[in-house]
Structure 1
Amino acid sequence: MTRSFRSLTLGAVLLAAGALTAPAVLAQEAPMAGMHMMQTPPSLNLSAHGEVRMAPDMATITFGVVTEAPNAVEAMRSNAARMNEVMAALRRAGIAERDVQTSGLNLSAQYDYVQNEPPRLRGYQASNQMTVTINDLTRVGTTADAVVAAGVNQINGISFGLKDSSAAEDRARQLAVRNLQAKAALYAQALGVPLAGIRSLTESGGYSPRPPSPMYARAEMAMDAGSTPVAAGELTVRIDITGVYDLGR
């Protein structure tokens, strides 16, 4: 009994000693964590961009054939016959089949509306929309004229683009980084502190083809004296970047 009592007494003393020393250990760790957070260097969070302007080397035209007839079958048949003529005209213009895509096909009933009277069916309208890629900009105007002569009665728009934008994007990246570095150096000089290394860098933007816009005639930029004049202009490739720089003390 005496030996057991002594063992219990010794265990209680050790537990009490542990309880007394644990807060001291925690108290020592807390200031160390605070010191670690205080050692985070000051930083600059900046953004910049680079732009490159280039002449386009391809164009995309969207057009359509719209026909009307008293009944649906006749409207579709008439539309198909005219579209076959348009496709033949595209082949004669040197447009490859892979560069021609159907982008819309629609058939709808057409009604006449008179006040205080029920709608009266007038007939049916068939619409076939095509998107054509032209890789030779000298053929844009002549191609538009050819499809209109073959039966196209609706041109929805034209857009210009680049077949390969990688070189322009890389050049824009270089310009963006130069602008970011110059801005960071300027801030550090104004603050009177040395500029340390860059901590992170993120990118956004890049080349994005413009959506089709209506075709406007510009005689001063005519591709061919005898065709519809088309102005290609220039495209802008832009890269946006954001960087975080550490500052010295």
Structure 2
Amino acid sequence: MRNVIVALVLLMAVPVMAQESRRIVVNGHGVIETVPDMATISMGVVSEAKTAGAAMAKNTDALEGVLLQLAEAGIESRDIQTNNLSLSPRWDNRSSSVSGQPQINGFIATNTVSVRVRDLAQLGKVLDAVVQNGANSFNGLSFGLQDMEPARNEARVAAIKDAMAKAQLYATAAGVELGDVVSISDGAVRSVGPVMMQADMMRSAAVPVAQGELSVTADVTVVFGVAE
């Protein structure tokens, strides 16, 4: 009798297991385009002098002029951050020493900061102001959003719609009826925008800047059941 009960339980479990294995798994991708409302500039000062102390002092003076111009342009201290501060020797390979080894003939001090500009209407003037007051190193400019969450959510909704459309297409092609959503796995959310502005673009006049659009993307994995 016990063996019969066990056999019945196993037979009852088989359809359930088979039903659970009927799944449609799709990846959804969503993209939305939006206008950026802020920019991040990577800039700094490179200074050279005969001694390490003189190079650092020269660099500090120049950077103070840059920071002063940023403050006068309305950039808050919370939007300015030091990315790199370095001091390195400048080598002269034309050595006149007996050993023939390269000699140090000076030092190079570098101080790089990232600056967030929240008022894009002032971006060109900000760039021009800092160039005229000591900044001589530019590593690029990128655009972004001060609050990414609304754009992220729009991209996520678009990704879900894309996944549902794909799942319905596959179900119809396979001749089955699409069931309920079993699970949703959130993927990466990315923003891609123009990265521009090199040192040779700096001019004495206000720098023209085109902000363009920012693409925000989201990916999801959705598991659907198959209706019986």
Compute the TM-score of the two structures, normalised by the length of structure 1: 0.80
Aligned pair partner of 2:86 in 97, 103, 106: 106
CA distance in 2, matches of 1:230, 1:241: 35
1:233 is aligned to 2:212: yes
CA distance in 2, matches of 1:40, 1:107: 64
Aligned pair partner of 1:76 in 45, 56, 61: 56
RMSD of aligned Cα (Å): 2.5
Aligned-residue sequence identity (percent) comes to 37
Return the offset for 1:93: 1.5
Residue 190 of structure 1: aligned partner: 173
Deviations 1:44-67 (A, max 9, x none): 111111111001000011111111
CA distance in 2, matches of 1:193, 1:27: 31
Partner SS for 2:132 = helix
1:60 is aligned to 2:60: no
Residue 134 of structure 2: aligned partner: 151
CA distance in 2, matches of 1:84, 1:99: 16
**Greater C-alpha radius of gyration:** 1
Deviations 1:142-195 (A, max 9, x none): 111111111111111101000011211222222222222222222222222221
Return the offset for 1:248: 2.3
Partner SS for 2:20 = coil
Query: Which stretches in structure 2 are left out of the alignment for 5+ residues?
Result: none
Return the offset for 1:205: 2.1
Query: Which stretches in structure 1 are left out of the alignment for 5+ residues?
Result: 1-20, 219-225
Size of the alignment, in residue pairs?
222
Partner SS for 1:150 = coil
Residue 18 of structure 2: aligned partner: 38
Distance 1:28 1:193, change over 3 A: closer
Retained in 1: the 8 A contact 2:45–2:59? yes
1:69-218 aligned within 5 A: 69-114=49-94, 117-208=100-191, 213-215=196-198
Partner SS for 2:17 = helix
Retained in 2: the 8 A contact 1:50–1:175? yes
Retained in 1: the 8 A contact 2:185–2:222? yes
Write the letter of the residue equivalent to 2:109: A
Greater helix proportion: 1
Deviations 1:121-145 (A, max 9, x none): 1111111111111001111111111
Compute the TM-score of the two structures, normalised by the length of structure 2: 0.87
